[in-house]
Amino acid sequence: MKDILKTSVSRRAVLGTGLAGVSMLAMPSMLRAQDKSLKVGVYGGYFKDSFDKHIFPEFTKATGIAVESVAEPTGEAWLVQLEQAARAGQAPADVSMISQVAMLKGQTTELWAPLDAAKLKNMANLKETFINKYPDGRIAGIGAVSWYITLVTNTDVFKEAPTSWQALWDPANADKLGLLALVSNSFLLEVTAKSFMGGTNALDTEEGILKAFEKLAEVKPNVRLWYRDEAQFEQSLKSGEIPMGQYYHDVTGLAAADGNPVRSTFPKEGGILDSGSWAVSRASQKGEEAHVFIDYMSQPAVQATLSRKVGTSPTVKRELLDLTPEEFAAVSSDIDPVIPRYDLYQTKSDWLNQKWTELIVG
């Protein structure tokens, strides 16, 4: 089983494994034996690279805790590995960046060690939505970073930026779209609900979900590529081969800054706001250090650094940040976002996945 997980990790993780080696060579200081240390899991590739460069050395300087960063695959593969390791009393990472669906799934098996609010003074800086709680109120995780998935276009092909997600349904865009291939990472049901059904509450019932699927089926003739691999779509978007689609706001901004003819637009219905949280494995022996790390990461100054250097959207309240309006616009938007219905992917995941696969494959 583990072999399957290892061979099919995403691009982020593949890059990350390579970068892990490079960054260890580049930063011998982090390997030096220190009294206090912490293993931190972040998405491999670009994220881990940026954290190793801009965040972890500063943290070690400020607290004396050495960080050993671990490249984790996106998706739920890491959750499975953490859970299996925890059953054996092992923690491949003490603190990990965890997606929201994985956060909920980990809660059902008590995978996350509850966090102590008294040791997290900076928790008050966070927006309320970025604090993950067990049903009984214990804190399971703290918002690490957030990011937007927006409507992206090739500027050579689309001279005018689209203004609404409804552009995906436009018959004029036949065979021009690149969309994410999985129900649980594309969040297109939520987009459909917000664009045509008055909001994501329309997905509360199965009838509502089926109606959203029906509406979403109309997009199929427009889709050229359902992608799992980010690199595949990014390349096609830059070349104009696939001139429209959904993609990460941060990476699109970086590509545009490099001179590629691409743009990211926040549609009037809002961009999709996804996020990752810090969570501590129950098998970790480093509870003290983990609290220090999470508290450090929740400071407005650190969140601002992340926005500037990594391009993520802050989890801290806007008014506490010293970001200029331009810097804020580069990573976020004041338009009310599409918030994914993570609860659905926990309670109805198999049903949704089956309907979705039948929709796009059938």
Q: Which DSSP string do the residues of 95-117 spell out, in sequence order? A: EEEEEHHHHHHHHHTT-BPPB-G
Task: Using alpha carbons only, give the angle 112, 113, 115 rounded to the nearest 5 degrees.
Answer: 115
The smaller minimum CB distance to another protein, of residues 251 and 360, is found at: 360
Residues in 185-224 that interact with another protein by CB under 8 A: 185, 224
Element (H, E) at 139: strand 139-154
Parallel/antiparallel/unpaired status of strands 139-154 and 262-265: antiparallel
- Residue 25 contacts another protein per CB under 8 A: no
Q: Nearest approach, Cβ of 362 to another protein (angstroms)?
A: 7
Q: Which strand (E) or helix (H) includes residue 140?
A: strand 139-154
Binding-residue pattern over the window 294 to 313 for another protein, x denoting contact by CB under 8 A = --------------------
Largest CA distance in the chain: 62
Is the alpha carbon torsion for 318, 320, 321, 324 positive or negative? Answer: positive
Report 136-175 residues binding another protein (CB under 8 A). none
And the tokens for 27?
């930063």
Give the range of 30-38, 229-237, 267-275, 317-325 binding another protein by CB under 8 A: 229-237
Please provide the distance, in angstroms rounded to a whole number, between the alpha carbons at the two ends of the chain: 29
For residue 241, state whether it binds another protein (rule: CB under 8 A): yes
Structure tokens at 91: 């923690």
In the range 84-123, which residues lie near another protein by CB under 8 A? 104-105, 108-109
- Which range binds another protein by CB under 8 A, 75-83, 140-148, 188-196, 320-328? 75-83
Q: What is the DSSP letter of 90?
A: -
Which segment (17-25, 68-76, 113-121, 268-276) binds another protein by CB under 8 A? Answer: 68-76
Interface with another protein (CB under 8 A), residue from 52, 72, 83, 190:
83
Q: What is the CA radius of gyration of the chain?
A: 20
Binding flag, residue 361, another protein (CB under 8 A):
yes
Residues that bind another protein (CB under 8 A): 1, 3-5, 8, 73, 75-77, 79-80, 83, 104-105, 108-109, 181-182, 184-185, 224-226, 228-229, 232, 235-236, 239-241, 346-350, 353-354, 357-358, 360-362
